[in-house]
Amino acid sequence: MNSLRGSDGSLPMDVFRYYLIQDTKYVREMQKAVIEAASKAPLNEAIDVLTAVFSNVERGAEVHERLFRDLSITEEEVNNTGFNLVNYAYTRHLHYYASLGWPQFLAAWAPCMWGGYHEIGKYVVGTGNAIFNAWAEFYASSDYWSRVEAILRTLDKYGGVTPDMERAFKDSVNFEIMFWEASLRKDPTILY
């Protein structure tokens, strides 16, 4: 088990490379879904979340470019690689909840930003591998945390969690776990 943990730097680089391409495809769909959901939100909440998520978008892009350079990943490769089944299902799930409404989408989105990335970023940061560390530092940063905070404070306004929101959240937690597992086994990328 331990041999596959990013925190000791022993994750095989081809697994990370596979993951990074799938993640890039995920993030684009996620960002589209955020804007789609925001178009259905109360204006002050839409602006709060969009500002938090997109304000320092160039910082994430810089880390990304650096990792792409280190791993010789090009835009073309990302575009020509399909989604694996979990990634396809997860991104359609985000689009589906964006079409249902704003609080439903926030519930579906939170596990990715909060657990999937910020908590894991904090866990991995400090690893001996410079590539994994550059990745982790971004997600562990206070900059990234302020994005998560915007989602959580907006969710908090919706006092009661509806059955819709609970299902969205739980499914996304499962999708997060399945997403990492699919990367570990380098699932075939068959969906476009």
For its own copies, give the closer residue by CB, 38 or 182: 38
Min dist. Cβ of residue 52 to its own copies (A): 10
68: tokens are 């792409």
Q: Decide: is 78 part of the binding site for its own copies (CB under 8 A).
A: no
For its own copies, give the closer residue by CB, 55 or 80: 55
Q: Decide: is 54 part of the binding site for its own copies (CB under 8 A).
A: yes
Min dist. Cβ of residue 40 to its own copies (A): 9
CA 143 vs CA 58, 60, 100, 137, 155: distances in Å: 12, 10, 29, 10, 19
* Residue 167, amino acid: R
For its own copies, give the closer residue by CB, 61 or 161: 61
Min dist. Cβ of residue 58 to its own copies (A): 9
Asked if 7 and 127 touch (Cβ cutoff 8 Å), the reply is: yes
Q: Decide: is 96 part of the binding site for its own copies (CB under 8 A).
A: no
Asked if 97 and 162 touch (Cβ cutoff 8 Å), the reply is: no
* Mask for 23-52, x = binds its own copies (CB under 8 A): -----x--xx--xx-xx---x--xx--xx-
Asked if 188 and 16 touch (Cβ cutoff 8 Å), the reply is: no
Q: Which residues pair with 83 in a beta bridge?
A: 191
For its own copies, give the closer residue by CB, 33 or 131: 33
Min dist. Cβ of residue 48 to its own copies (A): 9
Which residue stretches of 41-141 are H helix?
43-54, 57-70, 75-80, 85-100, 102-110, 120-124, 130-140
Instruction: List residues binding its own copies (CB under 8 A).
Output: 28, 31-32, 35-36, 38-39, 43, 46-47, 50-51, 54-55, 57
